[in-house]
């Protein structure tokens, strides 16, 4: 284990808002053994009370996992050893609460510090809070429920009136055969949210899930399934964080989004995993005729990330907008981007990304735009810009275009640059410290994402940037 630890030890910065943690008391938690075996998968299935088809699905996924190879084209993940990962851990108080006061005190304090109950009271239609492998709190405002909006934990939906809908959609967009960590997810998934927005319903307030991984040496494998029916609108916000440990943690969640004819879904994420986390998440949307998927993503944490939300534009006139910012600091190798498949006529996609690297951090933008032969009249524009804050950091752009029809309009631009010392000097001459001047420039560079986020999350993103710029590293 010593070798693995060396690869995941990262110098501390002052991120106390996220790095606080509660020490585990064995008498308060239940967890499976480290590693990945058929017996462990069956134990998880039994804990979850799975229907038989799901138990079989888990075991088949494990077989696929054992057959597939670890990807070799991205950042090095050799420091991740599944023999040392606990794939399921939960508080012994298992029942999910709908009243905040019923949540165990240390868990409640965690989310209070992260601002979740306050955000719910002020601006959200519903909140789900996951702690390690289980949702510990879930609540939907009456206004949303009265419109027929379903927002619940996915396990409850699996046993309720929406069981058939779950079975018809679960891991159909992201099958276990997709890649090794999709298969892992299929075997050990736990927690996550199910959302159904009925036809024609425009949900004015966002829904939110927040994922907190507190345990060292553990994995989190939540599954999010959202179905937005014809002509409906929904904004879903996902937040994630974890304290830092000197052992590897793993996040291999899965997000499946189904956007029906004429519907719109906005999916916003602020990821602030700790810098011992391997973030191997898979997100995918399918969009039918005249529908639209909007991705808004801020990636600030993790030791290594593989993250490429994918949009399949499956109906005529379907649209995709992808807006993101990635910040890679010391000890981080963040490989992020997006994939879009134009699979119908007159579809359109717009990709606008910013990546920032400092203190030796590595930021890679990786994308794939595919225009199928039947996607005549389609348009795609890709803009990726990178900012390196010193001469020891690295930024790479790896775009791929697979264009199979001449009747389309495709454009791509990429820019990589450094902070201009003259601009820093100008801001300092106006009374700003060098630290504040550089943070202001970086915040402006990332402004395209900030403008797309709800106010409180834009503030959080800017606070994260400022925190990273403080330079209290090593």
Residue showing tokens 């599954």: 223
Tell me the C-alpha distance between 1 and 256, whole Å. Answer: 35
The CA-atom distances, in angstroms, between 397 and each of 181, 284, 335, 337, 473 are 24, 22, 10, 9, 26
pLDDT at 137 (0 to 100): 46
Domain-embedded: residue 28: yes
Ranking 88-92, 308-312, 459-463 by mean pLDDT, the lowest is 459-463
Residue 295 located in a structural domain = yes
Distances (CA, A) of 294 to 190, 316, 348, 352, 445: 26, 17, 12, 12, 20
Say if 456 falls within a structural domain.
no
What gap in Å lies between CA 314 and CA 81, rounded to an integer?
A: 38
**134 in a domain, yes or no?**
yes
| CA-closest candidate to residue 226, choices 138, 313, 157 | 157
Sign of CA dihedral 159, 160, 165, 171: negative
Q: How confident is the model at residue 426 (pLDDT cuts 50, 70, 90)?
A: confident
**Residue at 466 is within a domain:** no
Q: In which domain, by residue range, is 41 found?
A: 15-432
pLDDT digits (tens, 9 = 90+) for 132-145: 445 444 455 567 77
Evaluate if residue 5 carries a pLDDT over 50. Answer: no
Q: Which of 115-119, 259-263, 357-361, 441-445 has the highest mean pLDDT?
A: 259-263
125: three-class secondary structure by DSSP: coil
**Is 3 a member of any domain?**
no
422 or 57: whose pLDDT is higher?
57
pLDDT above 90 coverage of the chain, percent: 41
Beta strands in 273-377 (DSSP E): 277-280, 282-287, 292-299, 304-307, 310-313, 319-328, 333-342, 348-357, 362-371
Q: Within a domain: residue 457?
A: no
Q: How far is CA 147 from CA 35, 140, 156, 193, in A?
A: 44, 11, 20, 18
The pLDDT of 142-156, averaged and rounded, is: 82
Task: Give the HSE-up count for residue 61: Cα atoms under 13 Å, Cβ half-sphere.
Answer: 28
pLDDT at 98 over 50: no
Give the pLDDT band of residue 32 (cuts 50, 70, 90): confident
pLDDT computed for residue 306 by the predictor: 94
118 versus 137: the higher-pLDDT residue is 118
Q: Is residue 275 part of a domain?
A: yes
Give the C-alpha separation, 189 to 37, whole Å.
14
pLDDT in tens, 10-23: 333 344 444 444 45
With vertex at residue 284, the alpha carbon angle to CA 280 and CA 287, rounded to the nearest 5 degrees, is 170
Q: How confident is the model at residue 295 (pLDDT cuts 50, 70, 90)?
A: very high
Burial class of residue 29, CB neighbours in 10 A (0-12, 13-18, 19+): middle
Tokens of 319: 């649209």
CB count in 10 Å sphere of residue 201: 18
Strand pairing report for 193-197 and 150-153: antiparallel
Q: Which pLDDT belongs to residue 474?
A: 25
Which residue carries 């990273």 as its tokens? 468
| Least confident interval from 6-10, 20-24, 247-251, 444-448 | 6-10
pLDDT at 25: 55
The whole-chain average pLDDT of the chain stands at 80
The pTM assigned to this predicted structure is 0.83
Euclidean distance between CA atoms 74 and 127, whole angstroms: 34
Nearest CA to 214 out of 95, 304, 110 is that of 110
Interatomic CA distance for residues 62 and 59, integer angstroms: 5
Residue 125 pLDDT class (50, 70, 90 cuts): very low
The rounded distance, in Å, linking the Cα atoms of 217 and 131 is: 15
How many CB atoms sit inside 10 A of residue 379's CB?
Answer: 17
Is pLDDT of 220 > 50?
yes
Do 371 and 336 touch, CB atoms closer than 8 A? no
- In which element (H, E) is residue 167 found? helix 163-169
At 290, is the pLDDT very low, low, confident or very high (cuts 50, 70, 90)?
Answer: very high
User: Helix, strand or coil for residue 2?
Assistant: helix
| pLDDT tens readout for residues 385-398 | 888 888 898 988 88
Round to whole Å and give the CA distance between 466 and 443: 8
Number of domains in the chain: 1
């Amino acid at each position: 284990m010593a070798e693995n630890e060396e690869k995941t030890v990262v110098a501390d910065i002052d991120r106390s808002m996220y790095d606080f943690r509660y020490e585990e008391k064995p008498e308060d938690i239940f967890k499976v053994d480290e590693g990945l075996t058929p017996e462990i998968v069956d134990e998880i299935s039994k804990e979850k009370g799975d229907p038989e088809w799901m138990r079989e699905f888990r075991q088949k996924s494990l077989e696929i996992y054992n057959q597939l190879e670890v990807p070799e084209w991205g950042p090095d993940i050799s420091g991740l050893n599944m023999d040392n990962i606990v794939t399921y851990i939960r508080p012994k108080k298992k029942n999910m609460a709908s009243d905040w006061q019923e949540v165990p005190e240390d868990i409640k304090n965690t989310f209070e510090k992260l601002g979740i109950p306050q955000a719910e009271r002020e601006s959200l239609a519903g909140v789900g809070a996951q702690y390690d492998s289980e949702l510990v709190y879930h609540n939907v405002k009456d206004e949303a429920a009265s419109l027929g909006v379903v927002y619940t934990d996915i396990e409850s939906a699996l046993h309720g009136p929406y069981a058939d809908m779950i079975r018809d959609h679960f891991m159909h967009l992201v099958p276990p055969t997709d890649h090794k960590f999709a298969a892992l997810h299929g075997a050990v998934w736990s927690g996550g949210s199910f959302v159904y927005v009925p036809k024609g319903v425009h949900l004015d307030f966002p829904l939110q899930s927040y994922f907190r991984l507190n345990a060292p040496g553990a994995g989190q494998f939540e599954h999010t399934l959202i179905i937005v029916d014809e002509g409906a609108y929904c904004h879903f916000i996902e937040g994630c964080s974890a304290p830092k440990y000197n052992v590897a943690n793993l996040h291999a969640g899965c997000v499946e989004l189904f956007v029906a004819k004429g519907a719109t879904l906005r999916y916003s994420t602020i990821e602030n995993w700790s810098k011992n986390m391997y973030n191997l998440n898979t997100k995918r949307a399918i969009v039918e005729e005249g529908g639209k998927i909007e991705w808004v993503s801020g990636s600030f944490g993790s030791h290594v990330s593989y993250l490429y939300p994918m949009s399949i534009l499956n109906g005529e006139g379907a649209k995709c907008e992808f807006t993101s910012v990635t910040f890679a600091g010391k000890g981080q190798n963040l490989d992020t981007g997006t994939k879009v498949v134009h699979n119908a006529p007159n579809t359109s996609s717009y990709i606008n990304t910013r990546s920032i690297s400092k203190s030796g951090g590595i930021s890679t933008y990786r994308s794939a735009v595919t225009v199928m032969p039947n996607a005549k009249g389609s348009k795609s524009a890709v803009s990726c810009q990178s900012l390196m804050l010193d001469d020891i950091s690295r930024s790479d752009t790896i775009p791929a275009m697979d264009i199979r029809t001449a009747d389309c309009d495709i454009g791509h631009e990429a820019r990589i640059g450094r902070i201009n010392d003259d601009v820093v000097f100008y801001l300092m001459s106006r009374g700003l410290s060098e630290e504040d001047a550089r943070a202001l420039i970086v915040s402006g560079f990332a402004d395209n994402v900030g403008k797309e986020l709800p106010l409180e999350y834009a503030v959080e993103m800017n606070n994260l940037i400022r925190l990273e710029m403080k330079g209290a590293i090593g």
